[in-house]
Amino acid sequence: MTTDSTNPQHDEFIWLEGIRNEQALAWAHEQNPITLAAFTQGKEFDPLREKVLKGLNSPDQIPGIGRFGEKWYNFWQDAENPRGLLRRTTLDEYRKSEPQWETVLDIDALGKAEGKDWVYHGIFPLKPEYKRALVFLSPDGGDASEVREFDLQTLEFITDGFFLPVAKSRTGWIDRDHLFVATDFGEDSLTDSGYPRIVKIWSRGTPLSEATTVYSAAKKDMMAVGYHDSFIGFEHDYVVRVIDFYHREVFLLNAEKELIKIDLPDDAKFSSWREWILIQPSSEWQVNGQSWPSGSLLTMNFDAFMAGERALVPLFVPGDHSALSGVTATRDQLNGYSCTRDHIILSITRDVVNRLEVLTPKDGEWQREPFGHVPELSKINAWGVSDDSNDYFMTVSGFLQPASLSLGSLDNGAEQEAELLKQDPSYFDASRYQVSQHFAQSDDGTRVPYFLVCRKDVVYDGKNPTLLYGYGGFEVSLDPYYLGVSGVAWLDRGGVFVVANIRGGGEYGPEWHKAALKGKRLRAYEDFASVAKALIASNITSPAHLAAQGGSNGGLLVGNMLTRYPELFGAIVCEVALLDMQRYTQISAGASWIAEYGDPQIPQEWEFIREFSPYHNIDPTKKYPPVLFSTATSDDRVGPDHARKMAAKMQALGIADVYFYENTEGGHSAAADKAQSAFKRVMVSEFLLKFIGRQS
């Protein structure tokens, strides 16, 4: 049997599209029992699931905190509170081994009272009083959320307060009585990607329909957002036209509600901090007689820049092996910097291992100091507690090193020792394992780094069950991180774990990402295959014992391993994946990724896209490794359509060992709580050991 799915009219499985399509759901519900019977009924499944869940619910894990005024807030999930508690305490109380917490909002109780299985999606407090907040709640774990105003004094929702129904809203405070709102305003208010295209200012006490429009993006744009920079003494309002994932126009909204375009390259990352503008160009930028390379960090006085001056000062310039890594700022998500009141903290990577620097403007110059210490092949991160002090949080972790959380101050310099507040527990005996970094050579000679985690006494006999993980897209870097319960579910079962830092990611800055964009996409897959070949050549494993795992864009990656390199792998775990690259722009938020993959509606671009569209490259004459496709009905970002269609097509072609599992909740993470996460992790472990275990 063969199928021609190059045209939707000839796509025999297009009926499996549609998140809530009843026929598609019926098919998925028929598939689930088959997969569950195969991988959740073994004698080791329940004990291991309970062990993993116990680790995920450990009361000893670090409760991450953020300071809102004088209170320190945390969102906590455990066995008794699977959907979670938003709670708060004091810093002195937090320092104790068992702090006393005040419950702010019980998500489980709220869901029970309202008859909805709410999933918490965050809180946005109003500075500087911190008496009000916006709470984001998803009905199923998908990206779309309801927004409600909450009183942080009475700990109740404000009945006549700001409220937005479920949508992919982008909203935030301007002041107590005004919000920036970009949401589903009705007909023609969304982009082709399904995100808001209209930004309005909404005044308290007025209906949303009377909110004042300040900007409208085009339907073909990705979205539009407005946000308020609340840094005291340097407040600004901005509107951003997000053209696509990598291009944007930023406007300053002045007191007269006029939009003034900030003259930047449209692929530059932008932020303002105090009186400074911060710019990170993603392409070489010729300005004021100078040329700044891609991935630089540049600054100058914001007002002077807006007045036309261009006396830019470099705060970072990348090298052959170094890049400015993506550190999330405390004030907004449109840039990659972490700031306190008087200092900027930079994270700089060299061959995917990072270090920190503190930058301080003083007397017209920028001083820099090294900051923090980290073990080899580990990850250090630091960020400002708030922008009204020089306090910072710091975490240190590694593949075998549980995270630690410290609190420090930069008031007396970067060398002042931070206070250790909390230490995550160990979930497995790390003393038996080792971490090493290696480099594979891709088809075009590019040097591709990868991390390998294995037992110290590993025998290089080609029989070690080895799991190779990757992503390779959207300038996302795969840094070292504590394996946690993965140590229980994989390492302690005899597995070897490998992370590949392939092109398409951000490990070496924007150019590493752009090296695998659109028509260059195959470079990422060649990189990943080169790591697989290096593992096989080292004899730590062999194709029969090597598996590939990835999710989302990483699911597309391993989908291409399945269709392009089936001879290298003994199993594939493909999660919440893109797979039908001809119709991806018409499924969920797919149109927002055209800048990454290309537009399949343009014939010249479909020519190269087809080369990495797994759905169109299945060959019934080939022998494929066993594959497990997992997704979620509520995934309104990628959509479950891809996994459904791919699995159904392979099964219809008579390909053996094609398994499919669709969770109902959890959105793009495919798990709404820790119990669902533990279940899925162990199911994957059972699948892997069945097909690539030493006995196979």
The third-level CATH classification (topology) of the domain covering 8-39+427-692 is: Rossmann fold (3.40.50)
Judge whether residue 635 has pLDDT over 50.
yes
Mean pLDDT computed over 282-296: 96
pLDDT above 70: percentage of residues in the chain = 97
What's the confidence (pLDDT) of residue 2? Answer: 37
Judge whether residue 648 has pLDDT over 80.
yes
What's the confidence (pLDDT) of residue 375? Answer: 85
Catalytic position from the list 530, 630, 668, 685? 668
d(CA 403, CA 189): 43
Question: Can you read off the two tokens belonging to residue 473?
Answer: 């897209």
Write down how long the chain is. 696
Question: Can you read off the two tokens belonging to residue 522?
Answer: 């195959």
Predicted TM-score (pTM) of the model is 0.95
pLDDT above 90: percentage of residues in the chain = 92
pLDDT single digits (tens) 139-159: 999 999 999 999 999 999 999
- Biggest alpha carbon–alpha carbon distance for the chain: 75
Is-catalytic flag, 552?
A: yes
What's the confidence (pLDDT) of residue 326? Answer: 53
Question: With bands split at pLDDT 50, 70 and 90, how would you rate the model's confidence at 70?
Answer: very high
What's the confidence (pLDDT) of residue 694? Answer: 81
What's the confidence (pLDDT) of residue 479? Answer: 95
pLDDT single digits (tens) 102-120: 999 999 999 999 999 999 9
Domain positions in the chain: 8-39+427-692, 319-425
Catalytic position from the list 322, 552, 634, 677? 552
Judge whether residue 339 has pLDDT over 90.
no
pLDDT single digits (tens) 45-68: 999 999 999 999 999 999 999 999
What's the confidence (pLDDT) of residue 670? Answer: 78
Rounded (5°) CA angle 76-80-81 = 40
The DSSP code for 432 is: G
Average pLDDT, the chain: 94
Q: What is the 3-state secondary structure (H, E, C) of 473-518?
A: CCCCCCCCCCCCHHHHHCHHHCCEEEEECCECECCCCHHHHHCCCH
Judge whether residue 366 has pLDDT over 50.
yes
The terminus-to-terminus CA distance of the chain in angstroms comes to: 30
Mean pLDDT computed over 217-231: 96
What's the confidence (pLDDT) of residue 696? Answer: 53
pLDDT single digits (tens) 6-53: 454 589 999 999 999 999 999 999 999 999 999 999 999 999 999 999
Mean pLDDT computed over 624-633: 97
| CB under 8 A, 24+ apart: contacts of 201-207 | 201/174, 201/226, 201/257, 202/162, 202/178, 203/177, 203/178, 204/161, 204/162, 204/176, 204/177, 204/178, 205/160, 205/177
What's the confidence (pLDDT) of residue 400? Answer: 98
Judge whether residue 405 has pLDDT over 90.
yes
What's the confidence (pLDDT) of residue 305? Answer: 98
